A and B are shown apart, each in its own frame.
Chain A
Amino acid sequence: MSKILTTEGLPLEKSLKKVEQKNKFRAFLLVLPLLLFLIVAYVWPILNLLTRSVDNRLISDLLPQTAIALANWEGNEMPSEDIYKTFYLDLNEAHKQKLSGKVSTRLNYAKNGFKSLINKTRRKLKNFEDENYKDQFIDLNKKWGDIEYWQAMKVAMPKYTIDKYLGSVDLEKNYSGEIIQKPEKRRIHRTLWYRTFYVALGVTICCLLLAYPIAHLLSTLPLRYSNLLLICVLLPFWTSLLVRTSSWMILLQQQGVLNDILVYFKIVGDKSRLELMYNMTGTFVAMTQILLPFMVLPLYSVMKTIPPSLMRAGSSLGGTPFHSFRKIYFPLTYPGIGAGSLLVFILAIGYYITPALVGGASGTLISNRIAYHMKETLDWSMASAMGTMLLISVLVLYWLYNKILGIDNIKLG
């Protein structure tokens, strides 16, 4: 069979492919800006975050010889004179390059107290004599004779470490590399992880319970009423998050509007006003209201597509309204429930500002802890580790969802 040729004498198949490739390339050029933007503004920062959580090179770069010496040190008896000397030389070098401050902050994350120890020591480095380094260090500050500081330094030395991840679940490594529990009084993260998931799940359920009837009403009302109602749902969307949170504060506080009304109608006594804010209740109420539109909209878009005749058909076949709802209507809304729940859950799990403002002490979530490390302690590796864990848990959830319900089942509108 002879090939069909174009006027230029090329096989048609090839020529078509060429044109197609050209078109594909053009299309690619169109999305290129977006792709670049995504890489620069999204993928790269996330990768940066991931590496930051394990990258611990700075400290061994600043104290290179000490890192080697400590790696060879067992850690169960006091370090030798040689280690003290090596440490002196490294620290002095770092100090000359004006980097001893960084040494002090990094080591202080490993064990508190290092900061002032190094800062006090570095000013005296120039007075050191070239012998008996160990005695000179201990004379300067008795902490240098405390083995715990050297053990902590040994633990802090590896170039790459999972210590920050261990820290985010209240574990730590001791000098011989065993993973141990943190002291009981300092265990905080596990509680916060549980609480974060509990709140996210709770808010998702509350949102679903509230949004389902609203969405149903929206989809069945005549257009002019439903549009008005839709605006009511969307209005909070267009209001600043901070404004909405603050208005909840006005409503919920003990001397606030809600309590005043309850007291006025003698439902509660003036002395026993309800505590609706600065606790878990406040977090739940405010977050549910703020995230509600994210549940209403996907549900609405799905319900809109369900023909009302289906329910009528159910009734005509003898089903009670509840039975037809359970057997026909409800299963048809699964894609909306899935989409809305996933959306609300993912947003809720990383929520920061609302719990910070209305949550009080018992409403604090893991994201507030991340902010604490970003802002207060400047331990960004720790913040990155927790952020990464949060990211991974969301991805796992997404994967689970896909496994169980199938992601193409989702419908956002």
Chain B
Amino acid sequence: MLFGDHLLINKQYGGLMKKMLITALVSVFFAPFATAEVNVVSWGGAYTESQKLGYGDPFTAKTGIKLNWIDYSGGLSEVRAQAEAGNITYDIVDLFAKDTITGCDEGLLVEFDFDKDFPAAPDGTPASEDFFAPMPSDCAVGNILYSWNYAYNPNAFPGADSMPSTIGDFFDTEKFPGKRSIYTGAMSNLEIALVADGVSAGGVYDVLENQTGALDRAIGKFEALCNDPSGGCIFWSAGAQPPEFLASGEVVMSTGWNGRFFNAIVGEGTTIEQVWDGQVLDYEYFGLVANGPNPEEAMEALKYFTGTEGLAGSAKYIAYAPFRISSLDIIEANEPWYKDGKTEMLPQMPTAPDNTKNYILMNPEYWADNEVEVGEAWEAFKASL
């Protein structure tokens, strides 16, 4: 990080810094007594690592508030169970958009007063304008943009004239024979199937909601793929699985989260390739658990995490785009930003111009609405395999 940035921020946040200094002093003084620890729940693996190194550890260094990183595999069941038992231990949870909607509806998450609760960009742009997109619910604060795209193992197609390059190729078992791995739920799968079947990326949800038979059409695409003797399907549920399946040769192609693929390719030197076509661009959010054990410290942490610097920090370790526009400036000014000191980060992101030529923008409302019925149809398809 450049020294100049620090100076600028110091000037602007002079008042805040003073406050933080006091907080830090107080926390040093009362350290033996005040054991405030904020429990942050996230998806684990390379992703949690990026959060921990990007903004978790700096936050602890700055404020003395310890953070406990807890892994989970999504959903609100733990939060709800804790709320019903009256013993809430989670403070901050990293959530899908649809879960922030449900969490807000069920009163499990704290509603934010967005511009009041979250700091403005360094140039004074209010938080609500500095974030790429409006929040899906009042209980969400944006964290990253990521994408559900697919990757392949180039060694799996030694005789092919060309490597997979479109979303259609994912379903083309004639040209690219071999097993595929897809996400265990219907989310993101229906979308890519429709685009591969000729629906325009922008019109996917319109087709899903208004065309009769669209669901069957999407699922039918997978039925054909999974029942194909030269195809076949394995379902993944944890983000670490897709790169693993590809590296071990268990499958030839797999959908997955772009940051995990990036981590495998650049971080670990695995020979897999990502395809940027017809992928689903999605947002990830933080929610603050209502009546959590340490609401004040948690809010402090959340402010720091989702600040301009915080979000830029996590992008240093994984190829997910920061939700704040102002964070991109920090990355751009300091490229190569990746932790190895030689990889440029911006071209790796799901928001890079080269990667956004043909993408589907996730519609969380569709999933919050239709999860149950679509889920039943999807599970019925899986059970028929």
Contact = CB atoms under 8 A, between A and B. Distances in A.
Interface stretch (A198-206, A290-298, A376-384): A376-384
Nearest to B84: A380
A119 interface: yes
Nearest to A382: B372
B106 A364 contact: no
Nearest to B247: A255
Interface of B: 73-77, 80, 101-102, 104-107, 179, 185, 215-216, 226, 233-235, 237, 248-250, 365, 368-377, 379-380, 382-385
Nearest to A192: B383
Interface in A73-95: none
Contacts of A112: 369-374
A186 B365 CA distance: 21
B280 to A, nearest CB: 18
A361 interface: yes
A202 to B, nearest CB: 17
A361 B225 CA distance: 14
A216 interface: no
5 contacts: A116-B369, A185-B215, A191-B380, A192-B383, A374-B77
A192 B374 CA distance: 17
Contacts of A185: 215-216, 377, 380
A17 interface: no
Contact of A116 (B75, B365, B377, B384): B365
A191 to B, nearest CB: 5
Given A253-B250, A362-B385, A186 B105 contact: no
Nearest to B383: A191
Contact of A254 (B76, B215, B250, B384): B250
Interface in A84-130: 98-99, 101-102, 104-105, 108-109, 112-116, 119
Contacts of A375: 73-77
Nearest to A118: B105
Contacts of B237: 356
Contacts of A376: 74-75, 185, 371, 375
A399 interface: no
Nearest to A376: B75
3 smallest CB-CB distances across A and B, nearest first, come from A101-B105, A375-B75, A361-B382
B375 A377 contact: yes
A74 B216 CA distance: 33
A101 B104 contact: yes
Contacts of A114: 369
A108 B369 contact: yes
B102 A369 contact: no
A330 interface: no
Contacts of B368: 108, 115-116
Contacts of A115: 101, 105, 368-369
Contacts of A98: 107
Interface residues of A, number: 40
Nearest to B76: A378
Nearest to B209: A113
Contacts, number: 105
Contacts of B379: 188, 364, 369, 372
Contact of B235 (A182, A191, A361, A374): A361
A188 B384 CA distance: 9
A150 interface: no
B249 A377 contact: no
Nearest to A105: B105
B105 A119 contact: yes
A278 interface: yes
A49 to B, nearest CB: 12
A246 to B, nearest CB: 12
A134 interface: no
Given A360-B235, A361-B233, A378-B77, A186 B376 contact: yes
A109 B106 CA distance: 14
| Among A105, A113, A186, A195: residue with most chain B CB under 10 A | A186
A207 to B, nearest CB: 25
Contact of B250 (A191, A255, A380): A255
A258 to B, nearest CB: 14
Interface string A341-378: 00000000000000010001110100001001011111
A379 B77 CA distance: 10
Contacts of B373: 112, 186
B385 A361 contact: yes
| Among A255, A361, A374: residue with most chain B CB under 10 A | A361
B14 to A, nearest CB: 38
Contacts of B377: 185-186
B348 to A, nearest CB: 28
A372 to B, nearest CB: 7
A335 B372 CA distance: 45
Contacts of B235: 278, 360-361
A364 B382 contact: yes
A411 interface: no
A187 interface: yes
B380 A377 contact: no
A364 B383 contact: yes
B375 A372 contact: yes
B357 to A, nearest CB: 30
| Among A109, A119, A182, A195: residue with most chain B CB under 10 A | A119
B30 to A, nearest CB: 35
| Among A98, A377, A380: residue with most chain B CB under 10 A | A377
Contacts of B371: 112, 376-377
Contacts of B249: 254-255
B271 to A, nearest CB: 15
A369 B376 CA distance: 10
Contacts of A253: 248, 250
Given A115-B101, A186-B380, A380-B80, 10 more contacts: A102-B105, A115-B105, A115-B369, A187-B380, A191-B380, A254-B249, A360-B234, A364-B379, A375-B76, A376-B185
Nearest to B187: A376
B33 to A, nearest CB: 33
A118 B385 CA distance: 36
A102 B107 CA distance: 8
Contacts of B383: 188, 191-192, 195, 361-362, 364
B102 A378 contact: yes
Contacts of A374: 77
A364 B73 CA distance: 18
Contacts of B216: 185
Interface string A369-413: 100101111111000000000000000000000000000000000
Nearest to A369: B379
Nearest to A100: B105
A278 B105 contact: no
A114 B365 CA distance: 11
Contacts of A380: 80
A253 B369 CA distance: 37
A172 to B, nearest CB: 11
A375 to B, nearest CB: 4
A99 B234 CA distance: 41
